[in-house]
Amino acid sequence: MLIDRYLLRRFLTPLIYCLSAFSMLVVIWDLFDHFGDIIKAKPSFFLIARYYVGVLCPSFEYLLPASLLLATIYTLWQLTRNNELIAMRVNGISLNRIMLPFLWIGFGCSLFNGIIAATLAPRAAAWTAEFYADRFTDNGESIRIDQPYYNSTCRRQWMIGELDLRNPGRLLGVKVTQERSDGTRAIEIHALKAEWLDRQWWFYGIQELRFKEESGNPIGVLSPQEPNPQMVQQVTFLNEKPTDFVSEAKSWEYYTIREMLRYFRSHKGISDKAVAEKKFQLHRRLAMPWACLIVTLFGIPAGSRSARHNPLSGVFLAIGFFLGFYAVSQIGAYLGIRQIIWTWLGAWLSNMIFMLTGISLLIRMR
């Protein structure tokens, strides 16, 4: 335990320094482009802090592995140069046991990066993009006009006259069309307003129009003919949630993992090409956080080697590994999206190749 604490202290210090330095570079780079607009808009400190959290969260996919790799190489270079690893080995501690704290940190960073990428990063990036589009002002609303939504599982189409993405539980000008299994319309429901209360939809000023099963022609006219804003009716057969409409209105890159899975369940009629692209992004979101553990596997032999040879050799090896890892990931993206190989395999291809290579290098390390 004493050695573990010592190694962790020696490892975490350069890791924090590297991560802080890379994060500052990202912030400074963004300030070069947007400093004038920020000064002109004069947002509060809280909004600026939230904006740069949104900028940094997606960047953690690259910043954390790069920081881990450099910190691993530097720490092991120091330990090997000062003969500390030899002293530990002489005292009967195996090399694998010495490297265990580095691997645990790499594994923990992979889990942390995965949780951030699956939950916080997409939402933070979406808010950041919207904040930037509003010229660094928080106008308190994000309105979508005539927003469509189609639930292919239930064969139900929504047309929302006005959707506020920040308050999706209150819709204005709603039309819901329920289709039969053969694609013909069964019923249309019109409402002046819809609210999501107690996990159910309540429609105000509701009107209904039914259609014949054989011909698909309407039966009569809208009933009642004039909507009554005071009339409220609970519509129990609708299983769509406000978050579904928000997800439909934003780009796929801003979906969380949970929203992605729900999208696939409710959109079964999309094309094979669209399915392949979206599933690749889903698997990539799950695969890329494991780069933290993979770079640690490569950093351990590279750091030990750099102390016995030119120290720059470890740095060049790290750069070569990084370029190779992301080059293979791009090749996997090309093959997976075009369905030359399985979509999931394209997303995980670089992980599989470099994970096996890193383990083999670690096993052969002396």
Q: Specify the range with the lowest mean pLDDT, choosing from 107-116, 199-208, 316-325.
A: 316-325
Q: Which one, of 80, 8, 63, lies nearest residue 308 by Cα?
A: 80
The reply to whether the predicted model has a pTM over 0.85 is no
> Tens digits of per-residue pLDDT, 263-295?
888 887 777 888 888 999 999 999 999 999 998
The band of 229, judged by pLDDT with boundaries at 50, 70 and 90, is confident
- Is the predicted pLDDT of residue 317 greater than 80, yes or no? no
- CA 170 to centroid of chain Cα atoms: 27
CA–CA separation, 69 and 299 (whole Å)? 5
> Tens digits of per-residue pLDDT, 26-48?
999 999 988 888 888 888 889 99
Q: Are 176 and 188 in contact (CB under 8 A)?
A: yes
DSSP3 helix / strand / coil % (the chain, rounded to 5): 65, 15, 20
The band of 366, judged by pLDDT with boundaries at 50, 70 and 90, is low
What confidence score (pLDDT) does residue 309 get?
A: 57
What confidence score (pLDDT) does residue 312 get?
A: 64
Q: Name every residue whose Cβ is closer than 8 Å to that of residue 2 and which is 6 or more positions away in sequence.
A: none
The backbone region for 198, taken as left when phi is positive above 0, alpha when psi lies in -120 to 50, beta otherwise, is left
Buried b (16+ CB within 10 A) or exposed e, 69-92: bbbbbbbbbebbeeebbeebeeee
Q: Are 51 and 136 in contact (CB under 8 A)?
A: yes
Domain ranges for the chain, please list them. Answer: 2-136+283-364, 155-238
- Is the predicted pLDDT of residue 359 greater than 80, yes or no? yes
324 vs 204, 264, 308, CA distance in Å?
58, 32, 24
**Average pLDDT over every residue of 58-62:** 88
The band of 109, judged by pLDDT with boundaries at 50, 70 and 90, is very high
Q: Are strands 207-211 and 200-204 parallel, antiparallel or unpaired?
A: unpaired
- Is the predicted pLDDT of residue 103 greater than 60, yes or no? yes
What confidence score (pLDDT) does residue 298 get?
A: 83
Q: Are 14 and 70 in contact (CB under 8 A)?
A: yes
> Tens digits of per-residue pLDDT, 161-188?
999 888 899 999 999 999 988 888 999 9
- Is the predicted pLDDT of residue 22 greater than 90, yes or no? yes
> Tens digits of per-residue pLDDT, 124-150?
998 898 888 888 887 666 788 889 999
